[in-house]
Amino acid sequence: MDSRRGNIVSLGVLVSGRGTNLQAILDGCEDGSIPARVEVVISNRPGVPALDRAYAKGVPAFVVEPGEYGKWPGCKPAYERKLVEILKAHGVELVVLAGYDRLVGETFLEAFPMKVINVHPSLLPAFPGLNAQKQALDYGVKVAGASVFFVDLTVDGGPIITQGACPVYEDDTAETLSQRILEIEHRILPEAITLIAQGRVRVEGRRVKILPAPQAGQGKVEPPGPASLAGTCGGTGCQNNT
């Protein structure tokens, strides 16, 4: 990733629903707590609140529906080529899946190797896929949480960047637990973006190592280029709609 603009990383955000994680990113970029700028938002569904959140901040937003390119999953390569075209046209360096409800494929990940991250409402590798909060309750765990990870071709199986946990209460429902986990997502997703923008993320096999912050007077750490992130993993998508 290019640091010529003072470590301000260009983001593209893919959404499908409410856009609360998108809002956390937009707010963090605006107040300077995230050293990044959202250049474009793309939704695979028209009329979702996430689009309104982008419009309210003056961020270009597009709707690209898979059905415009044929029947799923046969249309996936053509659909993803369109996504890549838009993201590249807006100079995107890091792609964030924020409640995007499609699994990304090879076409997308080849265009953005080790530059796609996602957030999932569980402490991965536990409870990947849909309805993770209900999965956690049904299993009887005492601690739940959320994870941010580099996307690959597995379902929520890429290298984990950050995680956050919360207790599971005896009277929790899927809805109450989901809300508590969502608050964690709003914290750890901006944290992961910040770590990547600061060049403090290094992937070694399945492990993501977080490098120390630069000391005063040392200047900023250069954001990682392909050599520092690539060669170990690629990209997924969880169906979360947050």
Specify whether 107 is located in the same domain as 12. Answer: yes
Cα–Cα distance for residue pair 100/120, rounded to 1 Å: 11
Task: Please say whether the dihedral angle defined by the alpha carbons of residues 181, 187, 190 and 196, taken in this order, is positive or negative.
Answer: negative
Residues of the chain with pLDDT under 70: 1-6, 216-242
Q: CB-based contacts of 152: which residues, under 8 Å, 6+ apart? A: 109, 158, 159, 233, 234, 235, 236
CATH code where residue 17 lies: 3.40.50.170
Query: Does 175 map to a domain?
Result: yes
pLDDT, residue 1, reads 46
Specify whether 163 is located in the same domain as 208. Answer: yes
Domain count, the chain: 2
Specify whether 95 is located in the same domain as 139. Answer: no
pLDDT, residue 107, reads 98
Specify whether 125 is located in the same domain as 90. Answer: no
Specify whether 97 is located in the same domain as 77. Answer: yes
pLDDT, residue 242, reads 60
Cα–Cα distance for residue pair 114/235, rounded to 1 Å: 7
pLDDT, residue 168, reads 98
Cα–Cα distance for residue pair 66/68, rounded to 1 Å: 5
Specify whether 157 is located in the same domain as 108. Answer: no
Query: Does 46 map to a domain?
Result: yes
Cα–Cα distance for residue pair 87/83, rounded to 1 Å: 6
Query: Does 3 map to a domain?
Result: no
| DSSP assignment string, 54-92 | HHHTT--EEE--GGGGSSTTTTHHHHHHHHHHHHHHTT-
CB 151 within 8 A of CB 235: yes
Residue tagged active-site, from 90, 120, 180, 186: 120
Q: Which of 112, 136, 162 is the last residue of a domain?
A: 112
Specify whether 146 is located in the same domain as 210. Answer: yes
Active site residue 120: yes
For 109-155, the pLDDT digits (tens) are 999 999 999 999 999 999 999 999 999 999 999 999 999 999 999 99
pLDDT, residue 214, reads 74
pLDDT, residue 7, reads 75
The three-class DSSP label of residue 117 is strand
pLDDT, residue 218, reads 56
Query: Does 51 map to a domain?
Result: yes
Query: Does 225 map to a domain?
Result: no
Specify whether 128 is located in the same domain as 159. Answer: yes
Structural domain that includes position 130: 120-218+232-237
pLDDT, residue 237, reads 37
Cα–Cα distance for residue pair 43/98, rounded to 1 Å: 10
Which residue in this structure is represented by tokens 């998508």? 237
* Strand 143-150 relative to strand 160-167, pairing: antiparallel
Q: Which of 66, 90, 112 is the last residue of a domain?
A: 112
Query: Does 163 map to a domain?
Result: yes
